[in-house]
Amino acid sequence: MNSSERRFPTRLFNVPTGPEFAESQGTSGARGFATAVGEPSGRAPRVMPPAPNRINQAIQGVPDGTRAMTNEEVERLLNDPFATLVLRAGRFPNDLGELLQALDEANSLDLGVSEQTSFVVSEGGQIPFSPGVDKGGTRLLTVRSRRTATGTSPELIVSTLIPPGKAPRSQEILNEVLAWDPVNRTFHFYQRQQGAWFWCGQSDMALQAPTRGKGPFDSHVNGYPLMKELKSPWVHWSGPDLKIVETAYGPDDPLVSDPLFGDHDLAFELEEAVLRPLIERWNTARFDKSTKAGTLTSARRFLAQVLEGQSANLISTHTQWKRLPADDLQDLPVTFFYEHDTLADSRRVGLEVEPPTLSMTGSRYKALAEKHNLRVRGESLDEPGDVPFCFTVPERPFEDVLVAEELIQRGAMSKRLAACLLMIDFANPVESPRRAQLMRHVPDTVELRPETNLDTTLVPLILEAAEDTEEGSAEREFAAHWQLGPTDWVAVFTSRIVTYLGLVAATLNTDEGCDAIFRLAESRRREFRRRPLAEFGLTLPQAVAIPQNEPPLEMTEQATVTPRN
């Protein structure tokens, strides 16, 4: 069992081989979704092993969650291309090659997904091969898309986790499938284990108990497809700045000779043509499903992505570690310092902020890496230095930015309200316990009309609470923001951010300031490593000379780094 399995056991479930596995003897019928994912039917199950020629399910967190599915459940719940073209057609591929062949042979059907691209990500992909050194495996993504009048539409992703020295089409390695269901407007998650295919749930299950946070939803927190490095330079992906090459693998590694590796596309295409469109697709479907008769239900779940942040993306500079100290870090990501993607985008809040150049000299960064003993550590690898691109840090994920945009576009809240919320503790865009305190005031539902939206329901609740809270509370800070009025907030918030970023740029011109920001980056990386998203040790560097018991750090609006209150 690897470290990921030890830390996050729900993702890779253990297939029962004894009496725990049961075949349902009834049908869900009109009882609906809950029964299909494991609500006890009242009938005694018949004990049997997982069926290699049936669609099994493994829904974590519910009784009777691991069993064979009934035909009625399959037909009603599973209408994605993988189910309709392969599994429901009686084909149960044993490996990646058989899976792709089955899709090829079904391409004459209307739902055919004939267009194929492949992508490669490996945390050890820039570390030269050395006998006996385990750098972890490689993830191969094979995307199948449908031809449309305007291009292609991604519909299905096969994720193959390939251990060193294994062929990508081996039967014993892990294959996972994510596929879009146009009937139910959801993503389905599948996994092949021990000779059988399992349906592990659909995106809607990420949003509700008891399946929330279980199985695939420990990392796909809100049901969205996931690419942890969704911006250039795509730190560990094979991209235009740094491609994963054959020298990272052993001389006889069968992955290198597979066409899916040899002809793989670069990460920018995965981001632009596949992941962003799929994330937007689920975001729209999710809001549509939650909107009934002009009312948005599950408002708290959406606002949590604005106020709390439940996931993260990883972003870095374009400066490669191996080129230090000659090259400078000339593009420290502005999203590390404040929520630029929401506050300064015209489709969202739209403040006109032009960030200054945020840079650190290569010699300073190199010296800080040595001072704090920055290291790359994996299962059997421990060496000084950084991951391929310097200053890799968490930022707010694209899905959270989209949720804020959709809340504004659908009339759930105004740009002014979004700005007043996000400007609370704005120098800490990913982790802000203070901003998250406002969740206690958020209602469960909100009407999508100006006279009854969050501006007229949530705001009075916060303002009333502000009268009874101490100075410096989130409620008091929000009240000060709201009192700026319907027009002045734009100029005031813009000025505050511009002033703050100027202070950040000045801080980066001193040794002491660079040291503080380096420590802040390590603090935020440690918080990321506590998330289920942190699957592999090599994903982020570790500054091991900074004590593990050091309290979490935060940034102030004066661009100083302090222990979190």
d(CA 204, CA 194): 27
30 pLDDT band, cuts 50/70/90, is: very low
Structure tokens at 391: 């200053």
| Whole-number pLDDT of residue 134 | 87
Helical (H) or strand (E) element with 384: strand 382-384
Query: What CA–CA distances, in Å, run from 181 to 71, 108, 273, 480?
Result: 17, 19, 18, 46
Cα separation, 107 vs 81, whole angstroms: 10
347 or 6, higher pLDDT: 347
Torsion of CA 439, 441, 446, 447, to 10 degrees: -140
Q: Cβ–Cβ contacts within 10 Å for residue 318, how many?
A: 14
Instruction: Evaluate if residue 25 carries a pLDDT over 80.
Output: no
> What is the percent of the chain where pLDDT is above 90?
82
- Cis before 210 (ω within 30): yes
Confidence class for position 142, pLDDT limits 50, 70, 90: very high
Q: How far, in Å, CA of 475 to CA of 424, rounded?
A: 9
Is the peptide bond between 233 and the residue preceding it cis, with omega within 30 degrees of 0?
yes
- Report the distance separating Cα 411 and Cα 259, nearest Å: 48
Cβ atoms of residues 306 and 418 within 8 Å? yes
> Residue 559 — very low, low, confident or very high, per pLDDT cuts 50/70/90?
very high
- Closest to 201 in 3D by CA, of 178, 185, 183: 178
Contact 358, 369 (CB under 8 A): no
Tally of helices (H runs) and strands (E runs) in the chain: 19, 20
Residues ≥6 apart with Cβ < 8 Å to 183: 79
Cβ contact 102:86 at 8 Å: yes
4, pLDDT greater than 60: no
How far from the centroid of its chain's Cα atoms is residue 162's Cα? 21
Task: List pLDDT tens digits, range 363-384.
Answer: 999 999 999 999 999 878 999 9
Per mean pLDDT, which range of 100-114, 422-436, 497-511 is the poorest?
A: 100-114
**Which ranges in 276-380 belong to alpha helices (H)?**
276-290, 299-307, 340-343, 362-371
| Whether this model's pTM surpasses 0.85 | yes
**What secondary structure letter does DSSP report for 92?**
-
Q: 327 near 320, Cβ under 8 Å?
A: yes
pLDDT at 8: 40
Residue with tokens 């302090």: 562
How does the average pLDDT of the chain come out, rounded?
90
Strand, helix or coil for residue 297: coil
* C-alpha–C-alpha distance, residues 499 and 557, integer Å: 9
For residue 223, give the nearest of 180, 169, 264, 271 by alpha carbon.
180
Closest CA relative to residue 168, chosen from 92, 103, 254, 100: 254
* Both structure tokens of 128: 């030269």
Q: Starting from the edge strand earliest in sequence, which strands make up the sheet with 291-292, in order?
A: 291-292, 295-296, 446-447
pLDDT in tens, 406-449: 999 999 999 999 999 999 999 999 989 999 999 999 999 999 98
pLDDT of residue 112: 76
Does residue 5 have a pLDDT over 80? no
Whether residue 26 has pLDDT greater than 80: no
Cβ(423)–Cβ(496) below 8 Å: yes
- Does residue 224 contact residue 310 with C-beta atoms inside 8 Å? no
User: Can you give the pLDDT at residue 49?
Assistant: 67
The confidence score (pLDDT) of residue 54 equals 94
Per-residue pLDDT of 209-253, as tens digits, reads: 999 999 999 999 999 999 999 999 999 999 999 999 899 999 999
Q: Write down the pLDDT at residue 35.
A: 29
* Strand pairing category for 115-121 and 174-181: unpaired
Three-state SS letters, 39-57: CCCCCCCEECCCCCCCEEE
Is residue 79 within 8 A of residue 98, CB to CB? The reply is: no
Structure-block tokens of residue 205: 């299950």
Tell me the pLDDT band of 108, cut-offs 50, 70 and 90.
low
CA angle 539, 540, 542 (to 5 degrees): 140
| Rounded-to-integer distance, Cα 421 and Cα 127, Å | 43
Angle between helices 454-466 and 474-482 (to 10 degrees): 120
DSSP-derived pairing of the beta strands 55-58 and 66-68: antiparallel
Query: Cα–Cα distance between 280 and 179 in angstroms, integer?
Result: 15
Distance CA 462, CA 442 (A): 9
**Alpha-carbon dihedral 142, 147, 150, 156, rounded to 10 degrees:** -40
Q: pLDDT per residue over 484-496, tens digit each? A: 999 999 999 999 9
Query: What is residue 69's DSSP assignment?
Result: P
Looking at the chain, the whole-number percentage of residues with pLDDT higher than 70 is 91
Residue 50: predicted pLDDT: 83
- Rounded CA separation 223/245 (Å): 32
Q: How large is the average pLDDT for residues 165-184?
A: 96
Q: How far is CA 357 from CA 232, 326, 362, 506, 509, in A?
A: 17, 19, 15, 11, 12
Name the token pair of 173.
């390695």
Given this model, what pLDDT does residue 165 score?
Answer: 93
What's the pLDDT band for 32 if we cut at 50, 70, 90? very low
Q: How far is CA 395 from the centre of its chain?
A: 11
